[in-house]
Homo-oligomer: A and B are copies of this chain.
Amino acid sequence: MMRTLKVALLGCGVVGSEVARIMTTHAADLEARVGARVELAGVAVRRAGRPRPGVPEELITTDAESLVKRPDIDVVVEVVGGIEPSRGLILSAFENGASVVSANKALLAADGAALHAAAAKHGVDLYYEAAVAGAIPLIRPLRESLAGDKVNRVLGIVNGTTNFILDKMDTTGAGYSEALEEATALGYAEADPTADVEGFDAAAKAAILAGIAFHTRVTAADVFREGITEVTAADIASAKAMGCVVKLLAICERSEDGQSVTARVHPAMIPLSHPLASVRGAYNAVFVEADAAGQLMFYGPGAGGSPTASAVLGDLVAVCRNKLAGSTGPGESAYAQLTVNPMDDVVTRYHVSLDVADKAGVLAQVATVFAEHGVSIDTVRQQGRDGDASLVVVTHRATDAALSATVAALRTLDHVRGVASIMRVEGE
């Protein structure tokens, strides 16, 4: 007789309702692919009594803790998000012998090691493809397809909300607030957009990607984070003048000696010729550079109910197969124990825009400060008007520490009225 695997679903919002729908409509396919019936055995929600089309009323419960402890549950799907109660529920599921499929980037980036250890202790799986870049397969390619290679760099657009806003600013000339308003109106930004626009969401994803790519532990706290709220229409225009576009990038890099890594999220200018430059709207894309594989790119919808559900379902099939085989998939791989270096050590190029007095000798003064701090200048563009002027300096590669010291010194110059913006230049 064919076995039945029972699934508890925690959360029935945008993603959860899609997971439930696909489990029902594709039940025959799932059965054929898993080799067992996969049954939705319970759905935990915060508030009962709402209409949930396609989800049988008798499956709904507000008691998530009891659901994950039910002895018949084989797999728990967690699409609630946030740290608690998700963390406690997942740990209860492990103790109960259930494998877990989670889309919870914040939790995994904050406390992934403890969760992986708990899963390993109880001999069950923790899968989380949906936590990074929605439907785009990234976790599995990084931890399985590239398991025999050495990844040196991961560079990606992993937040759809901010990409939508920056793309809107780029195509229409709108300012940040105006573009955010449109994103909110269209449902691309939440009522409180902080997690997206301040880069918290992207930083969590960067931590997860860096950990898997480099086989070491990286938490969200290790990731340098700068959001897009300070990006101005002038920055976008300045990027255009350089043949660039501004994107919020997550960048995870191995140092040249291979012994340390950095992980950071910030807006950056990238050349129009770079494949990431043409990633429009709320789409995501991630570049991976590995020793043997070379440059790979993965592109697709990074959020939304259906794409995220697709990733959850792929993981569900995998953990169900593992359950049937009495095995588990690859767990945490953190043997490399590399140091995570601070932002100061990151080496990149910079676009620095200064408001200066329109006087002879300003450029010489500014150039001297850059030179004194060991930051070599690539190009300078000077624009003057009615006694005021602006200087746009693009540097060669330098450390973040050297650039910060340079900027601090620039601010003390008589003729420098202000530092209008500093933006990193990547992808060259």
Contact = CB atoms under 8 A, between A and B. Distances in A.
Given A22-B292, A294-B307, A301-B295, A137 B141 contact: yes
A215 B30 CA distance: 12
Interface in A133-159: 135-137, 140-141, 144-150
A262 interface: no
B313 A149 contact: yes
B144 A140 contact: yes
A264 B250 CA distance: 38
A57 interface: no
Contacts of A18: 292
Interface in A1-52: 18, 22, 26, 29-30, 32-33
A326 interface: yes
B275 A293 contact: no
B313 A292 contact: yes
A16 to B, nearest CB: 13
B145 A26 contact: no
A273 to B, nearest CB: 10
A321 B313 contact: no
Interface string A304-333: 101101111111111001100111101001
Contacts of A293: 135, 300-301, 306-307, 310-311
A427 to B, nearest CB: 15
Contacts of A137: 137, 140-141, 145-146, 296
A5 to B, nearest CB: 13
A141 B29 CA distance: 17
Contacts of A149: 22, 135, 310, 313-314
A299 B314 contact: no
A401 interface: no
B297 A145 contact: no
The 3 closest A-B pairs by CB, nearest first: A148-B313, A135-B293, A137-B145
Given A22-B292, A275-B299, 4 more contacts: A30-B148, A135-B290, A147-B317, A322-B327
18 contacts: A22-B149, A32-B335, A33-B148, A33-B335, A135-B293, A140-B144, A146-B314, A147-B314, A148-B315, A275-B299, A293-B301, A293-B307, A294-B300, A294-B304, A294-B306, A297-B300, A321-B330, A327-B327
